[in-house]
Copies of this chain bind each other. A is one copy, B any other.
Amino acid sequence: MSDARTQNPGDPVGDDHAETYSFLGPAGTFTEAALAQVPQAQGKPWRAVNNVGEALDDVVSGRSVAAMIAIENSIEGGVSATQDALATMPGLRIIGEYLVPVGFVLVARPGVALADVKTVTAHPVAYAQCKAWLGEHLPAHDYVPASSNVTAATSLLETDASGRPAALADAAIAPPTIVAHHDVVVLAENIIDNPNAVTRFALVSRTTDIPKPTGADKTTLIVELPSDRSGTLVEMLEQFSTRGVNLSLIESRPIGDEFGRYRFVIDADGHVTDERVADALLGLFRFSPHINFLGSYPRADHQPVEYDHRYDDDVFIEARDWLRGLIGGEPQG
A127 interfacial contact with B, CB 8 Å: yes
A208 interfacial contact with B, CB 8 Å: yes
A125 and B81 contacting across the interface, CB-CB below 8 Å = yes
A298 interfacial contact with B, CB 8 Å: no
Which residues of the partner chain B approach A326 to less than 8 Å between Cβ atoms?
208, 210, 272, 281, 293
Which residues of the partner chain B approach A242 to less than 8 Å between Cβ atoms?
235, 238-239, 242, 283
A246 interfacial contact with B, CB 8 Å: yes
From residue 36 to 92 of chain A, which have CB atoms closer than 8 A to chain B? 50-54, 72-74, 77-81, 90-91
From residue 223 to 261 of chain A, which have CB atoms closer than 8 A to chain B? 226, 228-231, 233-235, 237-242, 244-252, 254, 256-257, 259-260
Which residues of the partner chain B approach A323 to less than 8 Å between Cβ atoms?
272, 278, 281-282, 285
How many copies altogether?
A: 4
From residue 138 to 182 of chain A, which have CB atoms closer than 8 A to chain B? 142-143, 145-148, 151, 160-162
Beyond A72-B254, A331-B91, is A148–B145 a contact (Cβ under 8 Å)? yes
A233 and B237 contacting across the interface, CB-CB below 8 Å = yes
Which residues of the partner chain B approach A80 to less than 8 Å between Cβ atoms?
72-74, 78-80
Digit string of A271-300 for contact with B (CB within 8 Å is 1, else 0)?
011000010011101110000110000000
Q: Say how far A85's CB is from chain B's closest CB, in angstroms.
A: 8
B332 and A143 contacting across the interface, CB-CB below 8 Å = no
A250 and B247 contacting across the interface, CB-CB below 8 Å = no
Which residues of the partner chain B approach A161 to less than 8 Å between Cβ atoms?
160-162
Which of A13-21, A27-35, A106-114, A307-315 faces chain B? A307-315
A327 interfacial contact with B, CB 8 Å: yes
Q: A90 to B286, alpha carbons, bound, how many Å?
A: 35
Which residues of the partner chain B approach A248 to less than 8 Å between Cβ atoms?
228, 252, 260, 262
A185 interfacial contact with B, CB 8 Å: no
Which residues of the partner chain B approach A282 to less than 8 Å between Cβ atoms?
316, 319-320, 323
Q: A226 to B327, alpha carbons, bound, how many Å?
A: 25
Q: Say how far A125's CB is from chain B's closest CB, in angstroms.
A: 6
A301 interfacial contact with B, CB 8 Å: yes
Q: Say how far A174's CB is from chain B's closest CB, in angstroms.
A: 15
Contact partner of A151 (CB less than 8 A), chosen from B9, B145, B307, is: B145
Q: Say how far A245's CB is from chain B's closest CB, in angstroms.
A: 6
Q: A125 to B147, alpha carbons, bound, how many Å?
A: 11
Contact partner of A240 (CB less than 8 A), chosen from B208, B230, B318, is: B230
Which residues of the partner chain B approach A273 to less than 8 Å between Cβ atoms?
327
A188 interfacial contact with B, CB 8 Å: no
Which residues of the partner chain B approach A10 to less than 8 Å between Cβ atoms?
142
Contact partner of A237 (CB less than 8 A), chosen from B237, B283, B319, is: B237
30 contacts between A and B (CB under 8 A): A9-B143, A51-B124, A52-B128, A53-B131, A77-B124, A78-B78, A78-B125, A91-B332, A145-B147, A147-B147, A197-B256, A198-B259, A208-B330, A209-B329, A210-B326, A226-B310, A228-B248, A230-B241, A230-B245, A230-B307, A231-B241, A233-B241, A238-B238, A242-B242, A249-B252, A272-B327, A278-B327, A285-B318, A286-B310, A286-B319
